[in-house]
């Protein structure tokens, strides 16, 4: 398949499905992150008919400079845009890996590339238990301060409780008295700040 097949698929379903094409990776133009923090790489691909286009690839698995000037599979869909009053066709999709020289099935994929979630390979998952513990500690500290059972009247105390909520294990090791310890405040409060003084 080639870019003409991608354009034909766009005409048929307005870009909802992608087409697997085989092409040569000519250039890696740049990399970045989407607004959602997902990685992308802009590449230039040449299909079997010699047609070249810039393609934005999404996902964690990306071609490298070692893959330049070799045949690859790409799952691509087209989209239409308008830049400074001029219409254009853009291409985006996923890298399908190195080609073995023969095209695979060219059945349209079920979802558009920009909407598919790439499988995360090698990424460390957040520690949801630690995140939940931090949220619970935060709620308990806030409730304790509001009820008057915990004191938080100085900047040093604010720093202490912030540290307690954010890095619970570390702060318990650093302070002999654990969470009941309130550090001594050395701030000079002999004068009220300007924003507190009456006009």
Kindly state whether residue 72 falls inside one of the protein's structural domains: yes
Tell me, yes or no, whether 13 and 102 share the same domain: yes
Could you tell me if 16 and 109 lie in one domain?
Answer: yes
Statement to judge: residues 91 and 144 lie in one domain:
no
Q: Which domain holds residue 9?
A: 3-115
- Enumerate residues 6+ apart whose C-beta is below 8 A from 123: 60
Distance separating alpha carbons of residues 17 and 11, to the nearest angstrom: 11
pLDDT tens digit sequence for 146-194: 888 888 888 777 777 777 777 765 555 555 555 455 556 565 656 666 6
Q: What is the pLDDT of residues 18-54, one digit of tens each?
A: 889 999 999 998 888 888 888 889 999 999 899 999 9
- 3-class DSSP assignment, residue 160: helix
User: Based on the domain organization, do 147 and 87 belong to the same domain?
Assistant: no
Q: For the chain, what is the domain count?
A: 2
Judge whether 97 and 62 are in contact, CB under 8 Å: no
Between 105 and 55, where is the model more confident? 55
CA distance 195 to 199: 9
| 159: in domain | yes
Q: Is 122 a domain residue?
A: no
CA 93, 98, 103: angle at the middle one, nearest 5? 80
pLDDT score, position 108: 40
pLDDT category of residue 112 using cuts at 50, 70 and 90: very low
Closest residue by Cα to residue 48 from 27, 20, 29, 11: 20
On whether both 52 and 132 belong to a single domain, the answer is no
Q: Does residue 133 share a domain with residue 110?
A: no
User: Are 67 and 7 part of one and the same domain?
Assistant: yes
Q: Does 17 map to a domain? A: yes
Q: Which pTM was predicted?
A: 0.49
109 and 144 fall within a common domain: no
């Amino acid at each position: 398949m080639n870019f003409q097949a991608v354009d034909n698929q766009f005409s048929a379903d307005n870009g909802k499905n992608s087409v697997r094409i085989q092409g040569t990776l000519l250039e890696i133009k740049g990399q970045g992150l989407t607004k959602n923090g997902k990685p992308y790489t802009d590449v230039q691909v040449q299909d079997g008919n010699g047609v070249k286009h810039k393609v934005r690839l999404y996902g964690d698995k990306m071609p490298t400079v070692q893959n330049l000037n070799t045949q690859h599979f790409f799952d691509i869909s087209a989209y239409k845009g308008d830049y400074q009053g001029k219409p254009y066709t853009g291409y985006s999709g996923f890298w399908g890996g190195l080609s073995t020289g023969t095209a695979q099935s060219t059945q349209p994929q079920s979802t558009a590339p920009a909407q598919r979630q790439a499988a995360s390979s090698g990424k460390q998952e957040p520690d949801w238990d630690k995140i939940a513990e931090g949220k619970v500690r935060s709620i308990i500290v806030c409730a304790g301060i509001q009820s008057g059972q915990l004191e938080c009247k100085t900047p040093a105390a604010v720093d202490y409780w912030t540290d307690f909520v954010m890095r619970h294990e570390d702060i318990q090791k650093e302070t002999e008295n654990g969470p009941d310890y309130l550090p001594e405040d050395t701030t000079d409060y002999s004068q009220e700040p300007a924003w507190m003084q009456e006009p």
